[in-house]
Amino acid sequence: MIGHVPGAKGMYMVATHSGVTQAPVMGKYAALEILTQERAAVPAKYRPERFL
């Protein structure tokens, strides 16, 4: 999962089963989204709301 958590103002989540290999890319998208408040297209299908 990657993205802002619905209903939890200011909370951003990144969780993955292979964190070591995906950490550089996930960190890049997390930083981009947190700093710009824009949603990147690449991690769209891994948003927290998909799992709620």
Tens-level pLDDT at each residue, the chain (52 residues):
999 999 999 999 998 887 688 889 999 999 999 999 999 998 899 999 988 8
For position 29, what pLDDT does the model report?
95
For position 16, what pLDDT does the model report?
85
For position 27, what pLDDT does the model report?
93
Please give the model's pTM, rounded to 2 decimal places.
Answer: 0.79
Question: Residue 22 to residues 5, 7, 45, 49: CA-CA distances in angstroms?
Answer: 20, 26, 15, 20
For position 20, what pLDDT does the model report?
80
The alpha helices in the chain, defined as continuous H runs, are 19-36
